[in-house]
Amino acid sequence: MALIAPPLSLYVHMPWCVKKCPYCDFNSHGLRGEPPPYASYVDALLADLDADLRDFGAAASGRPVHSIFFGGGTPSLFAPELIDRFLDGVRSRLPMTDHTEITLETNPGTVEHGRFDGYLSAGVNRLSFGIQSFDDEKLRRLGRIHSAKEAEAAVKSAQDAGYANINLDLMYALPEQTQQGAEADVERAVALQPTHISHYQLTLEPNTAFAANPPPLPDDDHAWAMQEACEQQLAAAGYGQYEISAYAQADRRCAHNLNYWRFGDYLGIGAGAHGKLSDSDSGEIRRRWKTRHPKAYLAAPGGSERIGGDGSVATAELPFEYMLNALRLIDGVPAADFAARTGLPIDRIAPALTAARQRGWLTDDPAQLRTTPLGQRFLNDVISSFLE
């Protein structure tokens, strides 16, 4: 089967934050002592992009970028002028579409008044706020540096600056949280009228402070009840669920994350960033990730030392990798996309599809790979069934 190159995105990792949260397992580094070398980091990002474009050749160069996502860490620690300089550098290297979505993650506790119009002028057309909760006690337990009042003020400030596309991150099943508390968080989020809400369960990730010293969390049954109640609440407010933890107003789904879930391509630049590129000529799907520590990354701008790992995805791993992403989507994906994105015939996964449908995990529609409500609840089991 022919491998068809999917849309291309760009992920940019900004590794610094004011303080590491105890639940966070991302590649983030709290500020200590001297301020980070923000300007030098932007130079390193552009050198990294140049090197990736050279290394990947036709698999990356010349392809239009459909979305850019600044993740972290806390990207809003970088001044608008630096974001502007970086985006100018991207535009000079890669074509953009007329509707390229450019998202910047921001922490309400790091926002300086007046910066939002600068980000907007630089080309950032979507903001994602790490709110997590509107309960000050829960925010304290999570190690967040902002209050509920500061979160609301930050969102309103962005709206006043002209932002019409805003996501709010919310967590549920927080330490000692009740269902009433989870619903209250959703109510306050909806009141701010964002276009998108990411609503996900707090989990204890390895190598985090919470994993070493677990707080008292709601049990699975209570967490599931919170999820169902909040899903209904969001639906009633006009936010359609399109992914396990993503809800959006009409035509406001996150293009960048949709490309991930549809097994699209993305360049990953910055300390610890991951990328995936499809080569339609060779049929190879290649993953590359960058060295994690900012100092090591900065020490080799554009050099081979910036690469933490690189290699092709084995054919036997492709079905699992594809389903790991695609089945998170509530509407699923066309069955024909499996062959287009992996280069493998759908027959490759026919036994696993039959078994999943017999268990009631997948719908019976042969033209669509889509989980049932039961499959969504036991999604990890569904995805694991495609491991070879």
Give the mean pLDDT per block of 10 residues along the chain (388 residues): 89 95 92 92 98 94 96 95 98 96 92 82 97 97 95 95 97 98 98 98 94 94 96 98 97 98 98 96 94 95 96 96 97 96 96 97 97 94 94
The rounded mean pLDDT for the chain is 95
The residue extents of the domains of the chain are: 8-259, 316-384
Strands 8-14 and 307-312: what pairing? unpaired
**Going by CATH, does the domain composed of 316-384 fall within 1.10.287?**
no
Q: Can you give the pLDDT at residue 111? A: 66
Q: Model confidence over 180-200: pLDDT tens digits?
A: 999 999 999 999 999 999 999
pTM of the model: 0.96
Superfamily of chain region 8-259? Aldolase class I (3.20.20.70)
